[in-house]
Structure 1
Amino acid sequence: MPTRSAVTGRSTDPRRRFAEELRLLRTHRGESLRQLGKALGWDASLFGKMERGHTIGSPEVAEALDQHYGTPGLLLALWELAAADPTQFKERYRRYMLLESEAGSLWHYGVSTIHGLLQTKGYARSLLMAGGISGDQLTRQVDARMGRCEVLHADSAPHFRTILSEAVLCTPLADANEWRKQLEHLVAMGEQPNITVQIVRFEVGLHALSNTDTMFLRLPGGRTSAWVETGYSGEFVEETASVERLQHAYDAVRDLALSPADSRKFVMRMLEELPCEPST
């Protein structure tokens, strides 16, 4: 029997959860499979198979369903989990990704990479390739990651604060043009009203999160959980006292960081120092 979440009562198995969400969204809309197929231009039998867990479809179908139901990024995130090799994600990371798609606000600290929600396609592709992913799987995961980014542009978009170590900006892509696009994207995203970008300079020295990527999730009902990740493992933290200790550490790092305005100027200076794009 599949494991059920104690909070929502829904399955924590990625494929079953994906099928459940599809069925719930359609029935809440009051649509038949035939009506759904007509609205999106795919055969109704495809959606029936997806709701029964016989197939997960393609990322294009998941993206179209997100647009249809007004759930930007949610179904693509669930699709990505359902499509992944089970050996790729431990159960606690699957749980984190599901909750990330439901969070009302997100607070992130990055040690060495830009968070997926702020990545360009070129950056995501390079990062996933460095992790050993290639071929069709690489294409699917890049597309799914780009689709998840849409959650930050929805009408009900969460507030997202990212604090990045200066080391993140000192680890460029091999392709200078793609790196320029990523830095420009970071600046542009930081100008969105629901997104805050800050930089922690090397000069502040060691601090409580010096070697730890951290994401806090403010969940429906006001509960806060955290995902803590090092280069070798990750841990989902839900116990209140442990989350509070992490939040105190995060607040201390935020106090050390450049202001959002000064962070923007810092990234802009890095852009000015990049070599000019070759003329075509």
Structure 2
Amino acid sequence: MTTSAAELALRHITARATGGPLAPGLRVTLNFHPDRGLPDGRPILRALAEDGVYHSQFVTGTSNGGLTAHPGGDRWHWESRIFGGAYDAAAAEQRPVYGALNFRQRPDGAAPRFGSAHFRLTAGTLARTTFCYPDSFLEPADFGTATRMSLLELAEADEQDLLDDYVEAHVHGGVRLDHDVEALVLDPSFRGTAVEADAARLPCPVEWHPGHRLMVAELRRHPGYRGPEYVELGAVIAEDGWLDPRVLGVAVAGGEHDPQDLKRVWHYLARFGTAG
């Protein structure tokens, strides 16, 4: 019987992992921006409802991090190193989906730097999930699985900014929305919008977290976090002196500002505008 790329990757990481099992109740979350579109023009939630599967960056061509998921790109090389070459010849659809372990039980997901919404995965997906610390782009040497997890001690001992304080997760073997997802958790700024309507079409429950909301006056108190130019951009796109994920999404859709600059504004909102 042929061994799949996912099985090879899981074996490779299991051999390198140390420690005891995860505590019951912890979940992996997949953070993303729910109001963005795919290269084919479809809104992301509508595409998810039609496809029924959460795809990796290698399939979608989109990311809230770096766009390097292509043959020869940084993400390709990181995966080759981390998973012992298991996916080198694999189709894009076979590659793992990236998320983070919500060991701090944050209501807005384990890694809000990558988006205001998240899918909370079922406990059953943990058996085919691998982990690393720190993020894979930093070429980590420490790895874990649900049964061999020493990474939490490393993360808890580290002094990281809130947006960098996560244990990266790799879900192998696909993520089906009707089977592998406990809930989609949205920011309340999307109530009554097309995002909520599209979310209702998904084959999983929809929940709401307390929300991200940031006054421009508070934004201006942190010019050194990402840079004063992003503070000024945030002030320009704010509505009535406030930023939230819906407002930011309107600016992204408008196309008047560099998406990478708006990503830095999101970092401000995610870092300093978390409610609850």
Tell me the TM-score normalized by structure 1.
0.26
Greater RCO (CA < 8 Å, at least 6 residues apart) = 2
> So what's the TM-score if we normalise by structure 2?
0.26
Whose helix proportion is higher, 1 or 2?
1
